[in-house]
Amino acid sequence: MHLQKHINQLAPKWTSIRRDLHRHPEAGWTEYRTSAIIADYLQQLGCYEVHVGPTVCKSSARMGVPSLEELALCEQRAITEGANPRWIEKMVGGYTGVVGVLKTNRPGPTIAMRFDIDCIELTESNSSDHRAFQENFASTHPGLMHGCGHDGHTTIGLGVAEILAHYQTELSGEVRLLFQPAEEGCRGAKAVVEAGWLDQVDQLFCAHLFPNDNFQVAGAIHGFLATTKIDATFHGKASHAGATPELGKNALLAAATATVQLNTIPRHSGGASRINVGTLIAESGRNVIADEATMKLETRGETTEINHYMREQAVNILHASAQMYDVTCNWRLAGEGDHGTSSRDLIPLIGEKVDQIKQKVTFIPEMTIRAGSEDAIYMLNKVQEQGGQAVYMGISGPPPAPTAPHQKNYDFHEDLIAIGVELFSRIALSTE
Amino acid sequence: MHLQKHINQLAPKWTSIRRDLHRHPEAGWTEYRTSAIIADYLQQLGCYEVHVGPTVCKSSARMGVPSLEELALCEQRAITEGANPRWIEKMVGGYTGVVGVLKTNRPGPTIAMRFDIDCIELTESNSSDHRAFQENFASTHPGLMHGCGHDGHTTIGLGVAEILAHYQTELSGEVRLLFQPAEEGCRGAKAVVEAGWLDQVDQLFCAHLFPNDNFQVAGAIHGFLATTKIDATFHGKASHAGATPELGKNALLAAATATVQLNTIPRHSGGASRINVGTLIAESGRNVIADEATMKLETRGETTEINHYMREQAVNILHASAQMYDVTCNWRLAGEGDHGTSSRDLIPLIGEKVDQIKQKVTFIPEMTIRAGSEDAIYMLNKVQEQGGQAVYMGISGPPPAPTAPHQKNYDFHEDLIAIGVELFSRIALSTE
Amino acid sequence: MHLQKHINQLAPKWTSIRRDLHRHPEAGWTEYRTSAIIADYLQQLGCYEVHVGPTVCKSSARMGVPSLEELALCEQRAITEGANPRWIEKMVGGYTGVVGVLKTNRPGPTIAMRFDIDCIELTESNSSDHRAFQENFASTHPGLMHGCGHDGHTTIGLGVAEILAHYQTELSGEVRLLFQPAEEGCRGAKAVVEAGWLDQVDQLFCAHLFPNDNFQVAGAIHGFLATTKIDATFHGKASHAGATPELGKNALLAAATATVQLNTIPRHSGGASRINVGTLIAESGRNVIADEATMKLETRGETTEINHYMREQAVNILHASAQMYDVTCNWRLAGEGDHGTSSRDLIPLIGEKVDQIKQKVTFIPEMTIRAGSEDAIYMLNKVQEQGGQAVYMGISGPPPAPTAPHQKNYDFHEDLIAIGVELFSRIALSTE
Amino acid sequence: MHLQKHINQLAPKWTSIRRDLHRHPEAGWTEYRTSAIIADYLQQLGCYEVHVGPTVCKSSARMGVPSLEELALCEQRAITEGANPRWIEKMVGGYTGVVGVLKTNRPGPTIAMRFDIDCIELTESNSSDHRAFQENFASTHPGLMHGCGHDGHTTIGLGVAEILAHYQTELSGEVRLLFQPAEEGCRGAKAVVEAGWLDQVDQLFCAHLFPNDNFQVAGAIHGFLATTKIDATFHGKASHAGATPELGKNALLAAATATVQLNTIPRHSGGASRINVGTLIAESGRNVIADEATMKLETRGETTEINHYMREQAVNILHASAQMYDVTCNWRLAGEGDHGTSSRDLIPLIGEKVDQIKQKVTFIPEMTIRAGSEDAIYMLNKVQEQGGQAVYMGISGPPPAPTAPHQKNYDFHEDLIAIGVELFSRIALSTE
């Protein structure tokens, strides 16, 4: 078929873009280089309004933004690594993300497609059986890795942009391509929503790549957990651990206590709950009673209520742990995501499009995961509240080696890029 | 008196050396710039054999040496900050420290004087009431600070070298000035001992600066605790904390558990004991079950036996905590110091010399601290085992503002430098 | 209607039996008095084979049987409180429980009905607003209470026996009334199964009373969790806590550590899990390092596999906690229950019978609880494996005061007895 | 010698009294039978004022008195076991202890001798190599044992009473024999002091039996730790652990957390400190979130200040642990003892008397233990504050089998009774 042939011709270019992104992963709110590449790409296609900078995300709704010092280092790095300084300039202060709007000026629905672009904080495997390492596209940023496939998501978004540009005469209404920053930690979607990009949207399509035994598209994924992300800092008082241990206020001991006790929050009979402390840092030196410890944690719940139960318990335990050692604990919300679900009405349409993909791709209408959280849920909820329809799809296929998201050796089958581009494009081209 | 006048003339130079050292603190085994300055100083005095590089410390007896990558960065920094590259070259690989030997070729005792030169890992206060900050000699190395006064010790050593050079005709026997690296963490003294620098030493003099209400010299300090320094790393398995928490092996939870439980080691009825976890780092990211956590801890004991009891319990708890979460724990000795004590025979001599210091300095023969540990004890034990005498003195006076060693705002009265130089010099000049 | 009128006449007697049972609660394997009352009752009805003693439960399959000393005290208490010594004699050694078999000698199905008879270990409320206390039928056994309504279950079983005896000419096949001991802790059902009482059973009916706003029967309850009950004992070494704390091996500290850490077992993404330490006893005296601590705990899982995961983790934590303090930990299985579910085929029949109960009783076909566990599941699984059908029903109504099972002030609406008798009787009378 | 011969004749009787006391141990404030035996014994000697009941101990100063129910059971037990009901009647409500006063009506000093009479809470060994078990004088009270030798102390006191009665014409001044209840847990001495029995006392003598390789008397024991005894109760909310864990408030988890965390109180550089939780009881049942947990703990310190530091930290941790799980914690002081020390002036006198004991008994003037606490310190402090002299002696010898106080198999060489009687008697007879 014509569309598919077109896609197949472009696929090698997209693979090489994906691998370039993979080599330069950027964490939430620091996707400067990534955003600059997206902005360049959209601009060159000629038919898109390209939105970059503070209009993409509402400033006050951004959660978990790094310090200005850290941001400045990342801005510098992006330029060093070839990003167009013209774009970077507009993004200074963590205003990453890009929105491309294609207005057909023909009456029709407004559809939004969302692609998340940030990486996770993990050092990529340098094992010889890890393809990215073998084929030289592993992360060059220590401690950062596209371990959740957002490099794939971003590339799919660019591919969709290119295909829709080519077939724009067949489109009606308006298409908004949302390249969202800071999905990890559920920090960015709310800010995109509050900036207004989901207003008047009739249909929203999101997707995630997954490893699977076969190529498969799931029409609607359910089961994303509500979540809260918390950053906590314990402040105590240093003292020489040999000379006067009784004069110290041990912030590390309070934080370690909190870490253990947080994991004891009772399970909730109303459904799944989660707690995790993923980061704990105290480094006052071996022979000093630690006067500071910082901690990153998250709670989740099968419903927003269960997550609130977890959050309340967690905050109480943070404070009680601090009190136990007469230290203080300050915490702030670093991210939060609600529970939500896909609109079932869109499933038949998606199934129809999957059937048109002349490949070994099978279709399952629905899939429930007891999985992570997704801040796209903010977008789904927003569109559904307006009376629109919104769906979160799964695009899966066999990885080059056994792995799972958020593992050091994560990777995905690169044919998923073409499949994803075709799926989103066909959906956009069929809506009216 | 002649000697004192001489010292008073030189004092301003020494203060400025001390402040330069204070601005460029270097942690254990990375005292490249400091060592280069010492070596230059001794060499210019003309009469010292200057030993630099692998002969100063026995390589295999060095504990807690940083990685080669880290060392290389520090070597580079030293050169950038003006160190003589000729010395740095000899020290590559963490072979810091300097020994200056003055041979009189006249029969007489071999006396050794030890000055430790490293800093601690602490970020210095930038409070406006901190003198080093006000007068612009605060540390320029983030995370590093001369918070234990070794900049003073080093300067006193240089002053003693200069005075003895001037009065060398009045000396007999041999004087060894030991500028020892890596005292913090009890990592360096053992390596100096094993390199042979205490062999044939008849008398050893060490000292530490302390804050005190008045100027005072203590003839012999007792009560240093035996100590063991341990670095531990927990390795688990990462997993998405929302999707599949049960597939993770939580290294951070194991480390936090160990941190709490280590503090529960029963007190010992035989005497004082200590335990501290001062550093804990896990940073797999908020939503990932942490697959790695590193920890720095130390035990102490009023006797070597009590410290061994603490060490054994600590290692057992590390392993049990790892087993609890099915992770592994690797640990290594990062430092160790025995219990020991000063020779009382030298106290009268020291008292006599203090009396000659025509200043407001009082003398107390002995002082028992329940304090930190000191790896000079390795040297004291070595000399005493050989039939020699060894002493650890205290030199104290009123600090510019209330503080204590290992605090962010630590500082000492700079007159202590001249007092220290005079004390050590008079001792050297009187022995025969 | 005739049957109902009959039941209503008998109801006051049953209420008084229930209250007598409530005043004399007996824990698992010590239901001597209860069993004697049941045996007397069945025997007086004339038409039942009455099985008492070791044929009721397979000896080796009984879990969590108390010590012989404890059993002997309970046997004595039962006789003191009026139990027929002839029955007690047969039950010596914890062989409680009764099976009543009514053989019609007419061809027909074998149906079994199961009623559990034991109490829980809880001291009943003596608050003035607790009906059992007000109306003088609260437990007279400190630490024991019918806090889960098995006094009601037992009474319903007796009522069913009486009604079926009266209408026996209308029955065909065989009816087995299983008065099962030791349901709490999932200790008894397996032994009844292994004694053969479910062999050849075509249909099995079980039920539980619940508090509810309205009178309601649920046709089939789903969602019982698989469970494992564990008794653990830590053995250490006593020492005077002031004189020589370092010589002790602290069994209580190990047990407390285990209690905290057990609660940190990661949640399972496959479904609900539970952990609870409900009992912990160490009483070596305030100034003695505790040399023994005993603990009762349980795990649960939405599937048998999840429960096995929990059990494995729990046992590992018990051992690691013991290792941490160099004590030993012995544990034994005190009960275990699998996951299972009700047969949906029986729901219409039950619905039909509920409709015949001319009262305010409504019917809901199915109900899923995320609740406790039930060892009746062993019986359901057994009957279903044989090709039969088995169901666990819920009978609910408004309690005299707001409460919940296993609370000190638990009670149920006593009309539930008549409703339960009518439900079970109609079912028995209709099967053919 | 005359006195010694006399003692040797009486020794077999005393041994049999000691063994009778050993078989009937009574815990603090329940020494009804023991007190009745003492009162009978003193009364039969004819020359003593015998004080029994509320005048012995000031009611409000008694710490850790059991409940009236428990006391009543012990009163009953004492009578059942042969105690004279006339005495018991006077002691109802925990007013145990006896004071015997011998007034010579000759001018002279007032001397007091103190003997503690209570047992510890420990079940005695029934091992075949335990002499008390072999020779049939082991405790007949489960959970109670004379494991600290107070049966010996009591018997020595009776022996001294008998000898002084016989030699009363050789005495001058006044002798007060204080048979003090509730030493264990430091609960009774303060009440004896506040009742006035140490007022006007010029010299006070106390002693403790110890195991030792040889027979030896220590003139003055130093090093008793200050201590605080605390009883704490956590109250939460029960809930079914399977059905609704999130509705529970877990008192056991709070108590277990407190137990672990209490052991993490930082060591104090000022001297020895101790913490112990010896008893923890929660028994809500395996499948119930525990709504109550009780705990007995103690702190100690080398000085009263250090003990106060420990107490403050402990109370803070109790409260923070409760807060952590939203439960409440109530605590009360169950005992408290200060730091104190023996008067050195009395040592020569004691040494002289020991030399007169024509046996293999050696003398050491002083002995420092880092040991337990002793509420006799209240008495020593009181007498010394009044300008008097007070001493705590040690009487030691080889036990029948290796053991230590507070062990299940504790026992002492019964010759220590005669030695003790002779020592105290000679002291009393020599003072003037």
C274 neighbourhood in chain A, CB within 8 Å: 267
| pLDDT for C370 | 64
Q: Nearest CA to D137 among D41, D32, D25? A: D25
CA distance B317 to B297: 12
| pLDDT for A358 | 74
Across the B/D interface, how many CB contacts are shorter than 8 Å? 29
What are the pLDDT digits (tens) for C107-117? 999 999 999 99
B-proximal residues of C, 336-395, CB under 8 Å: none
Cβ–Cβ of A324/D261 closer than 8 Å?
yes
What are the pLDDT digits (tens) for D234-261? 999 988 898 889 999 999 999 999 999 9
pLDDT of A432 > 60? The answer is no
- Tell me the CA end-to-end span of chain A in Å, nearest whole number: 22
C243 neighbourhood in chain B, CB within 8 Å: 269
Nearest CA in chain B to A302: B242
B371 neighbourhood in chain D, CB within 8 Å: 269
Of B260, B261, B267, the CB nearest to D267: B267
Mean pLDDT of A396-419: 94
Of D309, D319, D324, the CB nearest to A317: D324
Tokens 């109303």 — which residue? A270
Helical segments of C149-303, H only = 150-166, 189-194, 251-262
Helical segments of D28-144, H only = 32-45, 68-80, 85-91, 131-134
Across the A/B interface, how many CB contacts are shorter than 8 Å? 199
| pLDDT for A336 | 87
List, in order, residues 6 or more apart from C414 with CB less than 8 Å away.
C15, C18, C152
Say if CB D278 and CB C288 are below 8 A apart: yes
Across the A/D interface, how many CB contacts are shorter than 8 Å? 57
Of C229, C253, C407, the CB nearest to D286: C229
For residue B362, the number of C-alpha atoms closer than 13 Å in the C-beta half-sphere is 8
Say if CB A304 and CB A266 are below 8 A apart: no
Say if CB B385 and CB B379 are below 8 A apart: no
List, in order, residues 6 or more apart from A56 with CB less than 8 Å away.
A95, A96, A97, A98, A99, A181, A192, A195, A197
| pLDDT for A195 | 97
Q: What percent of chain B is modeled with pLDDT above 70? A: 99
Dihedral-angle region of residue D149 (phi above 0 means left; psi in -120 to 50 means alpha; beta otherwise): left
Q: How far is C264 from chain A (nearest CA, A)?
A: 5
Reduced to 3 states (helix: H, G, I; strand: E, B; else coil), residue C154 is helix
Share the mean pLDDT of chain D.
Answer: 94
Two tokens, residue C140: 């007279």
Of C267, C274, C275, the CB nearest to A272: C267
Cβ–Cβ of A246/D309 closer than 8 Å?
yes
pLDDT of D285 > 90? The answer is no
Cβ–Cβ of D405/C280 closer than 8 Å?
no
Element (H, E) at D64: none
Nearest CA in chain B to D225: B269
CA distance A299 to A309: 9
Q: Please, which pLDDT band fits residue A287 given cuts at 50, 70 and 90? A: confident
CA distance C378 to C224: 11
DSSP secondary structure, A176-223, as one string: EEEEES-TTTT-SHHHHHHTTTTTT-SEEEEEEEEE-SS-EEEEEEE-
What are the pLDDT digits (tens) for B300-313? 999 999 999 999 99
Distance of CA A268 to the CA centre of its chain: 27
Interchain contact C398–D (C-beta under 8 A): no
Q: Nearest CA to A120 among A330, A337, A372, A421? A: A372
Q: Which residues of chain B have pLDDT under 70?
A: 1, 370-371, 431-432
Helical segments of B333-414, H only = 347-356, 376-385
| pLDDT for B276 | 97
| pLDDT for B432 | 46
Q: Nearest CA to A421 among A204, A164, A214? A: A164
Interchain contact A404–C (C-beta under 8 A): no
Interchain contact C243–B (C-beta under 8 A): yes
Cβ–Cβ of C323/B321 closer than 8 Å?
no
Two tokens, residue A199: 């207003």
Sign of the C-alpha dihedral computed for residues B404, B406, B411 and B412 taken in this order = positive
What are the pLDDT digits (tens) for A91-147? 999 999 999 999 999 999 999 999 999 999 889 999 999 999 999 999 999 999 999
Helical segments of C92-147, H only = 131-134
C284 neighbourhood in chain D, CB within 8 Å: 122, 278-279
Q: How far is C316 from chain A (nearest CA, A)?
A: 17
| pLDDT for C214 | 93
pLDDT of D150 > 60? The answer is yes
Q: What secondary structure letter does DSSP report for B125? A: P
Name the pTM for this structure.
0.79
Cβ–Cβ of B276/A287 closer than 8 Å?
yes
Say if CB A259 and CB D280 are below 8 A apart: no
Cβ–Cβ of B242/A252 closer than 8 Å?
no
For residue A140, the number of C-alpha atoms closer than 13 Å in the C-beta half-sphere is 11
For an interface test with D, give the residue of A234, A237, A244, A246 to mutate (most D CBs within 10 A).
A246
What are the pLDDT digits (tens) for D65-124? 999 999 999 999 999 999 999 999 999 999 999 999 999 999 999 999 999 999 998 899
CA distances from B86 to A130, B83, B89, B155 (A): 44, 9, 5, 22
Q: What percent of chain B is modeled with pLDDT above 90? A: 85
Reduced to 3 states (helix: H, G, I; strand: E, B; else coil), residue B251 is helix
B-proximal residues of C, 123-182, CB under 8 Å: none
| pLDDT for B239 | 87
A266 neighbourhood in chain C, CB within 8 Å: 263
D261 neighbourhood in chain B, CB within 8 Å: 260
For the beta carbon of residue C85, count every other beta carbon within 10 angstroms: 12
Interchain contact C319–B (C-beta under 8 A): yes
Domains of chain C: 2-223+340-430 (3.40.630.10), 226-337 (3.30.70.360)
Reduced to 3 states (helix: H, G, I; strand: E, B; else coil), residue D368 is strand
- Tell me the CA end-to-end span of chain D in Å, nearest whole number: 22
Cβ–Cβ of C286/D298 closer than 8 Å?
yes
CA distance B286 to A296: 5
A408 neighbourhood in chain B, CB within 8 Å: 238
What are the pLDDT digits (tens) for A138-185? 999 999 999 999 999 999 999 999 999 999 999 999 999 999 999 998
B317 neighbourhood in chain D, CB within 8 Å: none
Of B229, B243, B405, the CB nearest to A286: B229
Cβ–Cβ of A278/B296 closer than 8 Å?
no
Q: How far is D380 from chain B (nearest CA, A)?
A: 24
| 432 residues of chain C, pLDDT tens digit each | 489 899 999 999 999 999 999 999 999 999 999 999 999 999 999 999 999 999 999 999 999 999 999 999 999 999 999 999 999 999 999 999 999 999 999 999 999 999 999 999 889 999 999 999 999 999 999 999 999 999 999 999 999 999 999 999 999 999 999 999 999 988 999 999 999 999 999 999 999 999 999 999 999 998 888 999 999 999 999 888 988 899 999 999 999 999 999 999 999 988 999 999 999 999 988 888 999 999 999 999 999 999 999 999 999 999 999 999 999 999 999 888 888 889 999 999 999 999 998 778 999 999 887 667 788 999 999 999 999 999 999 999 999 999 988 889 999 999 999 999 999 999 999 864
| pLDDT for B370 | 65
For an interface test with B, give the residue of C324, C325, C326, C327 to mutate (most B CBs within 10 A).
C324
Across the A/C interface, how many CB contacts are shorter than 8 Å? 31
Helical segments of C60-117, H only = 68-80, 85-91
Of A264, A267, A274, the CB nearest to C272: A267
- By mean pLDDT, which of A234-248, A412-426, D197-211, D321-335 is the weakest? A234-248
CA distance B91 to C289: 53
Tokens 């870490």 — which residue? A259
D408 neighbourhood in chain C, CB within 8 Å: 238
Tokens 């020794």 — which residue? D11
Tokens 């990592």 — which residue? B187
| pLDDT for C432 | 47
What are the pLDDT digits (tens) for C322-371? 999 999 999 999 888 888 889 999 999 999 999 998 778 999 999 887 66
